[in-house]
Amino acid sequence: MTHPVCERALRTWGEQAQMLMVVEEMSELTKEILKNINRKKDNIAEIIEETADVEIMLEQLKANYGIEEKVAAYKAGKLNLIEQRLNEWDKKTA
């Protein structure tokens, strides 16, 4: 279920503006992850902040397109696939 603040943001600032914000926030998280990996920068606080921003914006994205349930179902399937691959990996490395 979408947080009421996310729904309000979509109504107030509009779908297009908020979908552009999704892209912007994902880019900012990408930048902080790359800084951490490439520059060995201690920026965990920034990664936390940008991760929260991305999660909020992804919630708006799912609400905007009405895809919350489909994303949850697809995610569950993907997690099952990852688990299968991990189990196969464990068998190979044991």
CA distance 7 to 31: 27
Rounded Cα gap, residues 15 and 21, in angstroms: 10
pLDDT higher than threshold 90 for residue 17: yes
For residue range 26-65, what is the model confidence (pLDDT) as tens digits? 999 999 999 999 998 899 999 999 999 999 999 999 999 9
DSSP, residue by residue, 64-76: HHT-HHHHHHHHH
pLDDT value at position 41? 86
The predicted model scores a pTM of 0.90
* Domain coordinates in residue numbering, the chain: 4-93
* Residues whose CB falls within 8 Å of the CB of residue 76, separated by 6 or more in sequence, listed in order: none
Q: What CA–CA distance (Å, rounded) separates 12 from 81?
A: 39
